[in-house]
Structure 1
Amino acid sequence: MTVKTVTHLNFRGDARDALEFYHAVFGGDQMIVSYKEARNVQDPSEADQVMWGQVAADSGFRVMAYDVPSRMPWNRGENSFFVSLRGNAAEEITTYWEKLSEGATVLQPLAPASWSALYGMLKDRFGITWVLDVVNESAAS
């Protein structure tokens, strides 16, 4: 079993531009999924914004990004990134979740999602927001 940590950048409407910029800088593969493509539109004005995006280069550079929906708080200086912990095994991700949850505030319970066998978000007791998920085949790189 293996896990990887990836910097997960948070934007309010600029994620696509940022991912395109980082792709131009670092090369590699770029994947972008809009809220509309994921069938997760809650505000029609945000349908084309990025629900999940990634740049993955052969050099090992990885960055993920998304547009924080307007229904959620966002402040560029306070929550502009998450630590994303991604793994291939549900058991391993669940174990890390249980340990990180001690003294944490659960923002999204660890549960199946349309894009992942397991997905959850929490703010640990030190104020760091973690996103944990089981990687599906198309997002594994």
Structure 2
Amino acid sequence: MAFATTAHLNFRGNAREALEFYRSVFGGRLTAVTYGDFGMPKELPDADKIVFGRIDNADNGFRVMAYDIPGQAGAEAGPAGTTRRENGMTLTHEPFFMSLRGETVEEVGELWKKLSEGATVVEDFGPAQWAPAFGMLTDRFGVTWVLDVAAAHDAG
């Protein structure tokens, strides 16, 4: 039996904006279905929010899903800056990070540049003990990304 896992991100009213941003970074096909598309009366506040969002079919294999939590538009997403580096350690209160690994410093570096627009950099992208390059940031939507380049022994 085979399985596929895909990160499913939860937003507070800006899932469409986040999905459009991720598509601009990674490519792929964007699907966005609103609560209204599923029958919620259009006059209700969440009718235009995303109940099912997905990016798939990217040439690089990127996939992600997202939706807007009902009734949470504009709500505080949680404490800002909950991930930081201190004394060589990553300290966080977040339950997960998005991890992205590529084969070359150049290709991952380009993704880093795009994702870092409006982001808070936790650790600059550059050489690391375990990888040709590594970096960590929290994007403008509050999602923390770990980007690294596969070491020669990790490839494949």
TM-score (norm 2): 0.44
The one of the two structures with greater contact order (alpha-carbon pairs below 8 A, sep at least 6) is: 1
TM-score (norm 1): 0.48
The structure in which a higher percent of residues are strand is 1
